Structure 1
Amino acid sequence: MSEQHVLDLKGLNCPMPLLKTKQALNQIDVGACLAVLTTDPGSVRDFKSFIDLTAHELVEFEARDREYYFVIRKGS
């Protein structure tokens, strides 16, 4: 099973969640997972576009009570 890292970005507004996620992905190994928690609804659109344009994989997404939970597996 791959290693998972957690990034709590609740309270940050666009574009900070995506920028901090990109920075965190640069720090982890290929194949590792990054769990990201946000409260910015724009993150849903931003993360989808980011995943579509990169080799990363969205493993899990959940929206609950104005919080958004993403698990991203780092691609090569």
Structure 2
Amino acid sequence: MPTDASATPLHHDTEIDTSGLQCPLPILRAKKALNAMESGQVLRVITTDPGAERDFQAFAVQTGNTLLSQQMDGQRGVHYLRRR
């Protein structure tokens, strides 16, 4: 999966901030947000969970949503998912 801390933010339709939450809460919040979105829309998820990078990779594979980008900067991660 793409990981680039210097990448410019991608266009997104919805954003959720799950900072301070540990697995599985960031994934559960992302799933809920994606369910409320239309196909093709992009969700931006901000995380601080150290395992979130791997978790979102697995989540995308399991759900069929597209993981467009992951930007990791120290303890903070930003994940972009396109709704299937």
TM exceeding 0.5 = yes
TM normalised by structure 2 equals: 0.82
* Deviation per residue, 1:9-40 (Å, 9 max, x gap): 10101110001110110001010000000000
Distance (Å, rounded) in 1 between the aligned partners of 2:69 and 2:27? 16
Percent identical pairs in the alignment equals: 35
Q: 1:6 aligns with which of 15, 27, 40?
A: 15
Structure 1: gaps spanning 5 or more residues: none
Shift of 1:58: 0.7
Q: 1:64 aligns with which of 64, 73, 78?
A: 73
Are 1:26 and 2:35 counterparts? yes
Shift of 1:65: 2.2
Two-structure CA RMSD over aligned residues (Å): 1.3
Moved over 6 A (4+): none
TM normalised by structure 1 equals: 0.90
Shift of 1:44: 1.3
Structure 2: gaps spanning 5 or more residues: 1-10
